[in-house]
Chains A and B, each alone.
Chain A
Amino acid sequence: MDLLTSIIYVVVTFIIAGFVALWLPGIEKKSEARVQQRIGPQLTSPGIYTTLKFFYKKALKPSAVMPRVYNALPIVTLIVVAALFLILMPPVMAAWGPFASIVAVVGLLKVEEVLYLFMSSFSQSLMSKTMPFPDQAKGGKHRGAKQSFLETISANRSLRLVSFGSLPFYIALFIPVIMAGSIDLIEIVRFQQVNGAFLFTLPGIIGSIVFFIGFLIILNSNPFAYLEGHSDVIQGPIMEYMSKSRAIYTMAHASLIFVGACIYSTLFLGMPPFFALNPLNISIIIPIICSIIITMAIAVTSAFAPLFTNREFYPTVIATSMIAVVGVVTAVLTTVLL
Chain B
Amino acid sequence: MVTKIDGATTCNEVERQVFETEIDMGTVHPAALEPYRVRLFVEDEIVKDAEITVGLNHRGIERIMEGLPVEKANALTEKVCGICSNGHIFNSCRAGEGALGIEIPERARYLRVLAQELERLHSHMLYLGHGSEVLNHETFAMRIFYIRESVMELLYMMGGNRVQYGISVLGGVRPRADLNLKEQQRILDVMDYIDEKVGDFAERFVSDPMVMHRIVGTGQLSQKQALDLHVTGPTLRATGYEYDYRTKMPEYEGIEFDVITQDGGDVAANILMRATEIFEATKIIRQVIRDLPKGPVVNRDWEMVDSPVYKSYIEVPRGVCYHSYGLEDGKVRHSIIRTPSMSNIGAMQESCIGHPVQDAQLAIVSCDPCFTCTDRAIQIIKL
Using a CB–CB cutoff of 8 Å, the interface residues on chain A facing chain B are 32, 35-38, 127-131, 136, 138-148, 150, 153, 156, 222-223, 225, 229-235, 302-312
Contact = CB atoms under 8 A, between A and B. Distances in A.
A145 B16 contact: yes
A327 to B, nearest CB: 23
A261 B38 CA distance: 41
Interface in B308-356: 356
Interface of B: 6-8, 16-17, 20-25, 27, 29-31, 37, 39-42, 45, 49, 51, 53, 55, 133-139, 142-143, 146, 210-211, 213-214, 356-362, 378-379
Contacts, number: 132
Given A138-B379, A312-B214, 11 more contacts: A127-B30, A136-B7, A138-B53, A139-B378, A142-B41, A144-B8, A145-B20, A153-B45, A231-B361, A305-B210, A306-B214
A240 B15 CA distance: 34
**Chain A CB within 10 A, most for which of B8, B31, B361:** B31
Contacts of B143: 36-37
Contacts of A140: 39, 51, 53
B31 A310 contact: no
Contacts of A32: 138
B45 A312 contact: no
A38 B142 contact: yes
A302 B31 CA distance: 18
Q: Which 9 A-B pairs have the closest CB atoms?
A: A307-B136, A139-B379, A306-B135, A145-B22, A309-B358, A36-B142, A148-B21, A231-B134, A306-B137
Contacts of B20: 142, 145-146
Nearest to B380: A139
Contacts of A235: 30
A234 B137 CA distance: 17
A37 B356 CA distance: 33
Given A146-B22, A310-B358, A223 B51 contact: no
A128 B31 contact: no
A144 B13 CA distance: 10
A315 to B, nearest CB: 9
Contact of A311 (B17, B29, B356): B356
B367 to A, nearest CB: 16
Contact of A222 (B27, B51, B136, B142): B136
Contacts of A229: 136, 358
Contacts of A141: 51
